[in-house]
Amino acid sequence: MSATGFGWLVLVFPIAGMLVCALGYRKLPGHSAGWIGSLAILGSFAASIGMLFDLLDHPEEERELVDAAFTYFETAGVNVDLSILVDPLSVFMCLVVSGVSFLIHVYSVAYMDGDGGFARYFAYLNFFVFSMLLLILAANFVVLLVGWAFVGAASYLLISFWYRRTTATRAGIKAFVINVIGDIGLVIGAFLLFDATGALDYEGIFAEVNNAFSTNDGTLVAACLMILVGAFAKSAQLPLHTWLPDAMEGPTPVSSLIHAATMVTAGVYLIARTHPLFELAPLAADISAVIGTATLVFAATVAVVATDLKRVIAYSTMSQIGYMILGVSVAAYGAGLFHLMTHAFFKALLFMGAGSVIAAMAGNQSLDRMGGFRKSMPFTFVTFTVGALALAGFPLFSGFFSKDEILAFTLHRGGGFVVLAVVGYLAAGLTAFYAFRMVFRVFFRPPVSEARELEHGHLAHADPQNPATGEPEDTGVGFPGPEHHIAERSWPMKAAMGPLALLALVGGFVAVPGLTDTLEHFLEPTFAESRFAESVPSHGAEYAGLGVGALVAIGGIALAFFVYMSRRALRLELRERFTTVHTFLFRKWYFDEIYNATVVRPMTAFGVFGRNVIEADFVQNTIVGGTVGIVRAGSSMARAIQSGYLRGYAALLLVGMTGLGLYFLITAAG
């Protein structure tokens, strides 16, 4: 089978899984919906591997294959095929997405056990993965947009999966609205490119773009900025990031899926995919690099003070995506995508660990309440620590190689980029600090009552309540199920976390500078024409960067140890002394408040005005009401004639006929 044939298979499996789970949700017994969904994604992963091997058989110059299933639409000057593009970049993304998603599906089988919406959950999950794979394999902007919008819709469905929780539905709406802002940006960007090049498929645009635009041409920069709006909305970069922390309202495996595999990486992929445009518009690429850096600092500082375990990890995702955006914006495509892959491993793992811990806390997510789970949850402890070490960039763990490679490339660009790289290193220290803040606060220190109970073999059970507001809940459909599951007791969770821990541990070795350049070599054909292809830092510079990164990471971990383990009172002292700073960070730099005041409230006021004045008074009362009044007045006159008296009708008929006869007689005589 050809590579594109495998490419179609990659798309067919999850959509088939979705249909089976969705249509059979009443009939599928027990966990079968979960296993069907997992198998579908495993099929996708297998097809991705098939795609990889087939692509490796092609000579390097011919590793960009396009195949069209049918013509989507065809009008004057616009031909859009439903076509997929199989090249090293899309194959790489498919492998990461389907591989990590498969493990998350397996984890979900145990985690979502007993939930009233079990089959619905897996139908959504398969749809989510399908959308992301469609986005990745799209060969033109139209199919890309279809996948792009599907991903937004699927995230809405999954974030508000527990639809009886008002906080969850509100978070879903927030995510959807911000994603639609991004969709609009992407549509405008695609239109500007189509307007200038007359093509919608990548190949056509990239072939034309050098003729149509000069460097930093105004239209091209505008198009790139619009594409960035789309990318930033999906990837939760400033200033379109506010949906991501709220998205924690969804089930924990969904957070894992959104953060590791299927959603936030789409922006990074998009910039890497459209890199010929950004290289011709360095201004847009620079803006993107600066915003990526700003986001990574912002998110790291917020993660330091956040108390909700899942939100800490969510902010760390924003921060790590910031690194990836910085990477692909400074033309370090290989490094950025390398970090995307390692991040997918350790972030999925961290969320799975967090899910297990939260289950042990009977749904409570607050770091302030946790502590001492080391003895009672050894497996979760080990895997979570591996994830945290990878996130912190501890030497030889996967995040160590990928993050420092991005920063080494940024330094190599020189000029103002040195500032970005230095900021990146500082934020890396913060990353190590907050990663181990989580580890120390969750697993060390004296065990809390739940942990002590668990040491005796009793899993904590609490009355179901909303972790965000504390409102009481029941356990029916639309709320979390009655049972909590920890990794120590369910093999599917272990089976998902084990491989991820292994990958977080060794995933970095696929691209050790100078030793194994496997990944960069594989991705080379996609980025071959990049004007920065030859401009790479020397191995010496990269190893120096790795050294600095190692020191920063160890320093951050040591600081966390100092603050949270050896001098426990220090934490409260610091909080007392820097109350303003703490509040500023704890309120997430007041982004939500600012958006509420500048966008949400005025829009709500405008909406209320529209409903009360425009809709009620003008439309309903004047236009609609006026028409109705006129018709009603006319019809009541007509009704008065319909007396129901037969003799009345006969009289009217006679009078009418006589009148008519007289009229004709008079006119004839005249």
Q: Which stretch binds another protein (CB under 8 A): 31-39, 143-151, 337-345, 645-653?
A: 645-653
Interface residue with another protein, options 415, 644, 666, 668 (CB under 8 A): 644
Q: Which helix (H) or strand (E) holds 25?
A: none
| Nearer to another protein among residue 540 and residue 656 (C-beta) | 656
Interface residue with another protein, options 56, 623, 650, 665 (CB under 8 A): 650
Euclidean distance between CA atoms 301 and 626, whole angstroms: 59
Least separation, in Å, of the C-beta of 667 and another protein?
21
- 637 belongs to the binding site for another protein (CB under 8 A): no
Q: How long, in residues, is the chain? A: 670
Are the CB atoms for 119 and 33 separated by under 8 Å?
yes
Are the CB atoms for 139 and 65 separated by under 8 Å?
no
SS3 category, 513? coil
- 647 belongs to the binding site for another protein (CB under 8 A): yes
Shortest CA distance to 256 belongs to which of 432, 371, 102? 102
- 641 belongs to the binding site for another protein (CB under 8 A): yes
Site string for another protein, 161-190 (x = CB under 8 A): ------------------------------
| The pair of three-digit structure tokens given for residue 334, joined into one six-digit string | 């290989």
Euclidean distance between CA atoms 52 and 300, whole angstroms: 36
| Nearer to another protein among residue 214 and residue 643 (C-beta) | 643
| The pair of three-digit structure tokens given for residue 592, joined into one six-digit string | 């939500």
Can you say whether the dihedral through the CA atoms of 540, 544, 550, 553 is positive or negative?
Answer: negative
Interface residue with another protein, options 515, 569, 638, 668 (CB under 8 A): 638
Shortest CA distance to 45 belongs to which of 109, 105, 100, 104? 100
- 645 belongs to the binding site for another protein (CB under 8 A): yes
| Nearer to another protein among residue 621 and residue 643 (C-beta) | 643
| Nearer to another protein among residue 528 and residue 650 (C-beta) | 650
Q: Which helix (H) or strand (E) holds 85?
A: strand 78-86
Region of 58 on the Ramachandran plot (φ > 0 left; ψ -120 to 50 alpha; else beta): beta
Q: Which stretch binds another protein (CB under 8 A): 168-176, 499-507, 539-547, 634-642?
A: 634-642
- 569 belongs to the binding site for another protein (CB under 8 A): no
Q: Which stretch binds another protein (CB under 8 A): 19-27, 584-592, 593-601, 639-647?
A: 639-647
Helices (DSSP H) in 198-305: which residue ranges? 202-212, 218-235, 243-246, 252-257, 265-273, 275-280, 282-305
| Nearer to another protein among residue 456 and residue 639 (C-beta) | 639
Site string for another protein, 591-630 (x = CB under 8 A): ----------------------------------------
| The pair of three-digit structure tokens given for residue 40, joined into one six-digit string | 């579908």
Q: Which stretch binds another protein (CB under 8 A): 165-173, 271-279, 493-501, 646-654?
A: 646-654
| Nearer to another protein among residue 533 and residue 651 (C-beta) | 651
Euclidean distance between CA atoms 403 and 390, whole angstroms: 10
| Nearer to another protein among residue 610 and residue 648 (C-beta) | 648
Q: Which helix (H) or strand (E) holds 551?
A: helix 539-561
Give the distance from CA 437 to its chain's centroid. Answer: 25
Least separation, in Å, of the C-beta of 666 and another protein?
18
- 639 belongs to the binding site for another protein (CB under 8 A): yes
Q: How many residues lie near another protein (CB under 8 A)? A: 12
Shortest CA distance to 259 belongs to which of 465, 145, 123, 100? 100
Q: Which stretch binds another protein (CB under 8 A): 322-330, 382-390, 579-587, 633-641?
A: 633-641
| The pair of three-digit structure tokens given for residue 326, joined into one six-digit string | 């910085």
Region of 371 on the Ramachandran plot (φ > 0 left; ψ -120 to 50 alpha; else beta): left
Region of 415 on the Ramachandran plot (φ > 0 left; ψ -120 to 50 alpha; else beta): left
Least separation, in Å, of the C-beta of 639 and another protein?
4
Q: Which stretch binds another protein (CB under 8 A): 67-75, 76-84, 607-615, 641-649?
A: 641-649
Q: Which stretch binds another protein (CB under 8 A): 267-275, 299-307, 592-600, 648-656?
A: 648-656
Interface residue with another protein, options 533, 551, 619, 654 (CB under 8 A): 654
- 668 belongs to the binding site for another protein (CB under 8 A): no
Phi and psi angles of residue 294, each rounded to the nearest 5 degrees, phi first: -60, -45
Please, which of residues 296-315 interact with another protein by CB under 8 A? none
| Nearer to another protein among residue 633 and residue 638 (C-beta) | 638
Least separation, in Å, of the C-beta of 625 and another protein?
23
Radius of gyration of the CA atoms of the chain, in A: 30
Q: Which stretch binds another protein (CB under 8 A): 101-109, 222-230, 555-563, 643-651?
A: 643-651
Region of 387 on the Ramachandran plot (φ > 0 left; ψ -120 to 50 alpha; else beta): alpha
Interface residue with another protein, options 643, 659, 663, 665 (CB under 8 A): 643
Under DSSP, the state recorded for 589 is G
Least separation, in Å, of the C-beta of 641 and another protein?
8
| The pair of three-digit structure tokens given for residue 552, joined into one six-digit string | 């920063």
| Nearer to another protein among residue 515 and residue 638 (C-beta) | 638
Alpha carbon dihedral 90, 96, 97, 102, in 10-degree steps, equals: 140
In the complex, the residues that contact another protein under the rule CB under 8 A are 638-639, 641-647, 650-651, 654
